[in-house]
Amino acid sequence: MTPTELDDALDAMAKAAGDDAGKLPGLITVETDHWVQVLSGVRATCSALHDGLRHRGIVIHVGSAQETKVLTRAEAGERGEPHRDLKSRD
């Protein structure tokens, strides 16, 4: 997944969710090597430690046991909290 594909996936998920908040983007998981080699170029921010690393308002978890994908809020559960609205592309 490239940074553009990630943004496309986030936008498609948000559009498909409609009024169902559980289907909105809730967590981005990224395998460590994929983060280092490909996705580290996304505009990720961390405004406070309790907020964690985020891209367009969505939490990012990076780890060797992670699979690179986007989870809905329902799938992510507490791992994506606090959930935020998806920010527009910069």
Q: Are 86 and 56 in contact (CB under 8 A)?
A: yes
The mean pLDDT of 30-41, rounded to a whole number, is 94
Q: Are 15 and 8 in contact (CB under 8 A)?
A: no
* Whole-number average pLDDT of the chain: 94
* CA angle centred on 27, ends 84 and 5, rounded to 5°: 105
pLDDT exceeds 80 at position 49? yes
Q: Which residue has tokens 């527009």? A: 88
Sign of CA dihedral 83, 67, 2, 70: negative
pLDDT exceeds 80 at position 90? no
Can you tell me the distance from the alpha carbon of 26 to that of 80, in angstroms, rounded to the nearest whole number? 5
pTM of the model: 0.93
Q: Domain-by-domain residue ranges, the chain?
A: 3-76
